[in-house]
C-alpha cells in the first residue's frame, strides 16, 4: 500500500516568479495545499526531501507538517522544468481515509510460466488505473504467471486485488497472455486514460495559484 511519509513544510508569503526562483535557489519547492473546504495555503518544501519521498520511498500520500499541524495530502500535480531535472511547483490535495482517489499503478509479473506451448509472453497492459482510498494505494498490481498457458490469457476480471481497490479498465481487457509469434490479438476498446496526476474523486476545484 501507499507509504505515508512525513514532510516538513514552511509558509511562503512571496508572490510571483521571482520569489519562486529565489526559493528554488534555496533548495525549496513552491507548493500549494488545498481541498476539504479549507483555505488554500501557500507553502514551500525541501526539494531533496520531496525527491526522496517520490523516487526512493514511492510515496503518493504525505503527512505534511506545518506550524505544528499535520495535513494528510496527496501529491496531486508535480511540475518539472523542460529537462525533468528541477521541480518547479507541487500541488497537494488534502485527503482523508474516507476519500476515493484515481491513480495509475504499475503491473508487476512474478515468476515464469511452467510451459509456454510455443507461445511468447505478451503484456498489453503495463499500468492500470485504479480507484481506492488514498491510504490504500497499492505500490503495484502483482500477477503470478506460473500457471499462465497458451490460449488462456489473464484478464482484468481474473485479478486478485487488494481490499477496496477497483480497476477502471474493462473486465475483459487482457493484462498478460501467451501468444503464438505472428498472431495478433483481437483489440479490446479501453477507455481514454485519466489525467497523469492522481485524481481526487469529487474534489473541490482549487483556486488559481496566481503566484506561478
pLDDT of the residue at 209:
47
Residue 210 to residues 31, 75, 201, 207: CA-CA distances in angstroms?
12, 19, 24, 9
Q: How confident is the model at residue 208 (pLDDT cuts 50, 70, 90)?
A: very low
What digits encode the pLDDT tens for the residues 9-39? 999 987 778 899 999 999 999 999 999 999 9
Q: Does the pLDDT value for residue 203 go beyond 80?
A: no
| pLDDT value, residue 17 | 85
How much is the pLDDT for 41? 94
Q: Which of the two residues, 210 and 161, has the higher pLDDT score?
A: 161
32-49 mean pLDDT: 95
Task: For residue 2, count other CB atoms closer than 10 A to its CB.
Answer: 23
Tell me the backbone φ, ψ of residue 18, rounded to 5 degrees: -65, -45
How much is the pTM?
0.72
Q: Tens digit of pLDDT for each residue in 124-169?
A: 999 999 999 998 899 899 999 999 999 999 999 999 999 999 999 9
| Residues recorded for the chain | 212
The CATH architecture that domain 101-179 belongs to is: Beta Complex (2.170)
Candidate CATH numbers 2.40.110.10, 2.40.50.140, 2.40.240.10, 3.30.830.10; the one for domain 4-95: 2.40.240.10
| Domain assignments of the chain as residue spans, ordered by start | 4-95, 101-179
Q: Exposed (0-12), middle (13-18) or buried (19+): which is 183, by Cβ within 10 Å? A: exposed
Mean pLDDT computed over every residue of the chain: 86
Rounded to whole angstroms, what are the CA distances from 201 to 35, 40, 44, 82, 149?
Answer: 12, 18, 26, 29, 38
* pLDDT at residue 184 in the model: 63
Looking at residue 211, its pLDDT comes to 47
Amino acid at each position: 500500500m501507499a507509504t505515508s511519509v512525513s514532510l516538513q513544510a514552511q509558509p511562503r508569503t512571496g508572490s510571483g516568479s521571482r520569489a519562486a526562483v529565489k526559493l528554488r535557489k534555496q533548495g525549496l519547492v513552491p507548493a500549494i495545499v488545498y481541498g476539504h473546504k479549507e483555505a488554500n495555503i501557500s507553502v514551500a518544501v525541501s526539494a531533496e526531501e520531496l525527491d526522496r519521498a517520490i523516487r526512493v520511498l514511492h510515496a503518493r500520500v504525505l503527512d505534511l507538517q506545518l506550524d505544528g499541524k499535520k495535513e494528510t495530502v496527496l501529491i496531486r500535480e508535480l511540475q518539472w522544468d523542460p529537462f525533468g531535472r528541477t521541480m518547479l511547483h507541487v500541488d497537494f490535495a488534502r485527503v482523508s481515509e474516507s476519500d476515493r482517489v484515481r491513480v495509475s499503478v504499475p503491473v508487476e509479473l512474478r515468476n515464469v510460466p511452467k510451459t509456454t506451448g510455443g507461445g511468447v509472453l505478451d503484456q498489453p497492459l503495463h499500468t492500470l488505473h485504479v480507484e481506492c482510498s488514498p491510504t490504500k494505494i497499492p505500490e503495484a498490481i502483482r500477477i503470478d504467471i506460473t500457471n499462465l498457458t497458451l490460449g488462456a490469457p489473464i484478464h482484468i476480471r481474473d485479478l486478485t486485488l487488494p481490499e477496496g481497490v477497483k480497476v477502471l479498465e474493462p473486465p475483459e481487457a487482457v493484462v498478460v497472455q501467451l501468444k503464438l509469434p505472428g498472431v495478433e490479438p483481437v483489440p479490446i476498446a479501453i477507455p481514454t486514460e485519466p489525467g497523469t496526476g492522481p485524481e481526487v474523486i469529487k474534489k473541490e476545484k482549487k483556486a488559481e495559484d496566481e503566484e506561478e
